[in-house]
């Protein structure tokens, strides 16, 4: 057996990898696209990941214009496949179907051009032009399978699995088309710009959650163990700058060594906070805080201590207090630099001072630890911060570190995540890598 895949975009990439993993059944594979280099990149990825189950079978690239029926027929006759898989955009469906009819080879596609339908047409009617080939295909002795993508193809597989394995009884199953989603969400979701579909801000915000749902369904169906060496997905973390100094480099090196194709995004916690976890935009947040601070108003957020720490006071080496033992009156008599964080409540020690009718005079609020340390270098302001950060950060080099003259309370670096996300095997793997990285840091 042999297959010819036309299309080398995102969908084509996935189809080619899955076909290669089953080429003991599907046989020789040829991937064709207008841009042959895209096909070659897919082939290189398949070979790099050792996804070619039977190395004796062919895996080749060809160039073809999917709008050119004559060129398609010539390619089909050259490759002589048993099946043509159309992984291109839906507006080339008719050209490829015509080529398959002329060459007498079976056809499969993944979608229909709903946005090219006449006004008022529903999705089944969008297939009218392709259904017109039914008698022709029957006469030619070939098969045509339409819409084997997410709707209705894969949806039907998911639904059948759910009926058989997950539920005692199902009354109705509602499949949302793009048009229905646009109407329900009151958003275009995607719009066409040239030959590309561009996601709206809402679609980009929903993307991580949808990807997670699809990933969980795929894991449910395949029951495959997570393999980081083959993972091509993305993880998003948010950190305070102090956490970045302490853990980011070590964690990145550890993760990318095991998952070289992984994409790791590390955001500033100020630009992506706790709401990012509940919306699926973030996988984890890592931050220093005192133990009194975890916000109780956030639903389904889990906090886990990674590293215990203590707080210290930083000051300029020429500061009037630099040569003295720090006492509470001196600590309160000078101005302070503070870090802004709207997500966390007032620190425990601030409340203790307030109960004693005493209060720090915060002269400057800044966004990050590095900026606060810089202010100390050029003023008599004091900065209360993590001891681990003070001992490792370049910005803190040259500053004097002094123990605080009061009981600050328990402090730590913590990991925060949205509880349902732990259903994802990839998420659990990253969680284990973070824990192991922190064990190494604590052992140093």
Q: What is the pLDDT of residue 52?
A: 92
Q: What is the pLDDT of residue 268?
A: 82
Q: What is the pLDDT of residue 214?
A: 62
Q: Is residue 129 helix, strand or coil?
A: helix
Q: What is the DSSP string of 137-178?
A: HHHHT--EE---SIIIIIHHHHHHHIIIII-S------PPPH
| Residue 81 CA neighbour count, 13 Å, CB half | 30
Mean pLDDT by groups of 10 residues along the chain of 444 residues: 92 90 95 92 89 93 94 96 93 92 95 58 62 92 84 68 80 71 82 74 76 58 66 86 84 93 85 80 85 58 87 94 92 90 63 73 89 94 90 91 84 85 81 92 77
CB 284 within 8 A of CB 265: no
Q: Model pTM greater than 0.85?
A: no
Q: What is the pLDDT of residue 297?
A: 46
CA–CA distance, 66 with 72 (Å, rounded to integer): 7
């Amino acid at each position: 057996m042999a297959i010819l895949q036309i299309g080398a975009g995102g969908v084509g990439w996935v189809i080619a990898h899955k076909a290669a993993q089953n080429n003991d059944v599907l046989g020789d594979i040829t991937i064709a696209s207008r841009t042959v280099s895209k096909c070659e990149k897919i082939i290189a990825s398949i070979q790099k990941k050792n996804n070619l189950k039977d190395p004796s079978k062919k895996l080749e690239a060809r160039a073809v214009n999917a709008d050119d029926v004559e060129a398609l027929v010539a390619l089909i006759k050259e490759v002589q496949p048993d099946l043509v898989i159309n992984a291109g955009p839906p507006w080339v469906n008719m050209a490829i179907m015509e080529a398959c009819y002329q060459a007498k080879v079976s056809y499969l596609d993944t979608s229909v051009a709903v946005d090219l339908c006449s006004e008022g047409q529903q999705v089944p009617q969008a297939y009218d032009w392709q259904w017109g080939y039914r008698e022709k295909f029957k006469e030619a002795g070939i098969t045509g399978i339409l819409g084997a993508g997410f709707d209705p193809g894969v949806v039907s597989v998911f639904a059948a699995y759910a009926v058989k394995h997950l539920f005692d009884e199902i009354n109705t199953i509602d499949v949302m088309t793009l048009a229905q989603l646009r109407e329900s969400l009151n958003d275009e979701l995607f719009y066409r710009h040239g030959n590309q579909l561009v996601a709206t801000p809402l679609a980009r915000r929903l993307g991580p959650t949808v990807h997670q749902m699809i990933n969980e369904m795929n894991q449910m169906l395949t029951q495959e163990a997570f393999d980081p060496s083959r993972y091509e997905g993305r993880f998003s973390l948010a950190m305070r700058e102090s956490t970045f100094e302490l853990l980011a480099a070590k964690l990145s090196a550890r993760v990318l060594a095991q998952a070289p194709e992984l994409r790791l995004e590390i955001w500033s916690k100020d630009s992506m906070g706790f709401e990012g976890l509940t919306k699926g935009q973030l996988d984890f947040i890592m931050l220093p805080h005192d133990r009194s601070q975890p916000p109780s108003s956030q639903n389904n957020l889990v906090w886990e201590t990674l590293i215990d720490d203590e707080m210290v006071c930083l000051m300029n080496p020429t500061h009037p207090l630099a040569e003295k033992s720090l006492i509470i009156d001196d600590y309160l008599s000078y101005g302070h630099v503070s870090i802004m964080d709207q997500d966390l409540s007032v620190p425990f020690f601030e409340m203790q001072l307030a109960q004693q009718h005493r209060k720090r005079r915060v002269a400057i609020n800044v966004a990050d630890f590095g900026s606060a340390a810089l202010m100390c270098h050029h003023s008599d302001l004091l900065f209360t911060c993590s001891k681990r950060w003070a001992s490792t950060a370049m910005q803190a080099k040259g500053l004097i570190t002094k123990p605080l003259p009061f009981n600050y309370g328990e402090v730590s670096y913590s990991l925060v995540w949205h509880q349902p996300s732990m259903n994802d095997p990839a998420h659990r793997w990253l969680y284990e890598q973070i824990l192991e990285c922190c064990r190494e840091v604590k052992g140093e």
